[in-house]
């Protein structure tokens, strides 16, 4: 006997665009982009933003011409497709303009010595091959590490209390965490200035770390809470059935299950505060040399380094400031990429 293999029918998906339709849409967008670029060059509109606005209008005109002989349904579908793409380009163009400006201008002042030398014996007007932001990178790292060491346990405990304990103060804790999320960064700096700085009568890296910890806590706490909510109740019930107490269940079952998610929460918290300038101006100030002691007086950081050089305004000072902004943006990009990778592993 010959066996005939049954062919499983595949479901049709009429909402998917055909290859011809995709090619037509792509060609329309490419032509619109070329025409928009030419209009920007001729009229002198403002860079990327002008290109985005021009592209938005030209793309609709191109669709109107391309779909002139089509029926109303296909015409509407083409307009909506191009409208979504053009709106996305219009929304992301300012951001891409910022990123492009930081990269292009930051590369002018970025040299190998920028990452490990200091400005102790170098003036902002000196050649870019002299001096660097090594002291600012080290200062930012010290303050962020201290802030993370303070915030991470508190944020995780807050998330555990809100999701596992659910005591009488749950509403108050959640209210405080949500309120802290909206606190301006300058307020955190003023709080540490009026308490810690006035008490010690000195600016220091520790004061800056405390200000960053205040800003970092709500991000870590809210992220930890959302991550802990993903733990299935069956795991908790199984632990309770084996006779484990609530604290042991939380410590030995719940937290290890979302270890990657909690790591992501800490990384997002660091990325949230590493670029803050206002609280550091009131707590750690700045310095042109390495300071490894958190209580050793004013401490440099990347945000205050960039801010101070921009205030000087000379060509080399501005180039150094752009290079510092580029390094800071790269650090944030690495942190967010790490959070995405760790979060993806946790889902798998």
pLDDT tens digit sequence for 134-178:
999 999 999 999 999 999 999 999 989 988 888 888 888 888 888
Domain with CATH 1.10.3720.10 in the chain: 134-347
In degrees rounded to 5, what are phi and psi of residue 101?
-65, -45
CB atoms within 10 A of CB 240: 14
- What tokens were used for 211? 């200000």
328 by DSSP, 3-state: which? Answer: helix
Lowest mean pLDDT among 64-73, 79-88, 262-271, 279-288: 64-73
User: Which DSSP string corresponds to 289-341?
Assistant: S----TTSS----HHHHHHHHHHH--HHHHHHHHHHHHHHHHHHHHHHHHHHH
Query: Quick one: average pLDDT of 1-29?
Result: 61
CATH T-level assignment (fold) for domain 134-347: MetI-like fold (1.10.3720)
pLDDT of residue 1: 45
pLDDT confidence tier of residue 301, bands split at 50, 70 and 90: very high
Residue reference for tokens 């979060």: 343
As a whole number of angstroms, the distance between CA 275 and CA 302 comes to: 8
Query: pTM here?
Result: 0.77
Q: What is the largest CA-CA distance in the chain?
A: 96
Query: Quick one: average pLDDT of 124-139?
Result: 90
Residue 315 vs residue 341, higher pLDDT: 315
Asked whether residue 23 carries a pLDDT value surpassing 80, the answer given is no
CB 172 within 8 A of CB 166: no
- What tokens were used for 182? 């909206």
CA atoms within 13 A on the CB side of 338: 16
Asked whether residue 4 carries a pLDDT value surpassing 70, the answer given is no
In degrees rounded to 5, what are phi and psi of residue 286?
-155, 160
CB 212 within 8 A of CB 144: yes
Query: Quick one: average pLDDT of 290-313?
Result: 91
Please state, for a pLDDT cut of 90, what percent of the chain lies above it.
29
Q: What are the E-state strand segments in the chain?
A: none
Most confident of 13-22, 111-120, 331-340: 111-120
- What tokens were used for 247? 């604290």
Asked whether residue 20 carries a pLDDT value surpassing 60, the answer given is yes
Question: Residues 210-248: pLDDT tens digits?
Answer: 999 999 999 999 999 999 888 888 888 888 888 888 888
């Amino acid at each position: 006997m010959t066996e005939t293999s049954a062919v499983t029918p595949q479901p049709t998906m009429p909402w998917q665009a055909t290859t011809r339709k995709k090619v037509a849409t792509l060609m329309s967008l490419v032509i619109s982009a070329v025409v928009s670029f030419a209009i920007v060059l001729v009229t002198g509109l403002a860079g990327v933003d002008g290109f985005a606005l021009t592209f938005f209008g030209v793309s609709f005109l191109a669709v109107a011409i391309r779909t002139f002989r089509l029926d109303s349904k296909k015409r509407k579908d083409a307009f909506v497709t191009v409208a979504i793409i053009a709106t996305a380009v219009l929304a992301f163009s300012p951001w891409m303009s910022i990123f492009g400006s930081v990269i292009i201008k930051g590369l002018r002042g970025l040299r190998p010595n920028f990452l490990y030398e200091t400005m102790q014996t170098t003036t902002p007007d000196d050649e870019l091959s002299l001096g660097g932001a090594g002291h600012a990178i080290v200062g930012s790292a010290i303050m962020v590490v201290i802030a993370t060491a303070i915030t991470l346990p508190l944020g995780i405990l807050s998330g555990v209390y809100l999701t596992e304990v659910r005591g009488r103060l749950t509403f108050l804790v959640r209210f405080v965490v949500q309120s802290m999320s909206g606190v301006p960064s300058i307020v955190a700096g003023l709080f540490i200035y009026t308490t810690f700085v006035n008490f010690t009568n000195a600016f220091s890296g520790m004061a800056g770390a405390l200000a960053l910890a205040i800003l970092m806590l709500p991000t870590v706490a809210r992220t930890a809470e959302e991550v802990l909510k993903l733990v299935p109740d069956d795991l908790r019930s199984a632990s309770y059935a084996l006779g484990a107490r609530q604290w042991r269940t939380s410590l030995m079952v719940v937290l290890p299950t979302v270890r990657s998610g909690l790591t992501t929460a800490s990384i997002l918290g660091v990325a949230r505060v590493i670029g803050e300038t206002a609280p550091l101006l009131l707590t750690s100030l700045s310095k042109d040399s390495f300071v490894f002691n958190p209580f050793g007086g004013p401490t440099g950081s990347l945000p205050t380094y960039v801010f101070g050089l921009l205030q000087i305004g000379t060509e080399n000072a501005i180039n150094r400031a752009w290079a510092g902004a580029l390094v800071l943006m790269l650090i944030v990009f690495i942190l967010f990429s790490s959070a995405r990778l760790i979060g993806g592993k946790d889902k798998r």
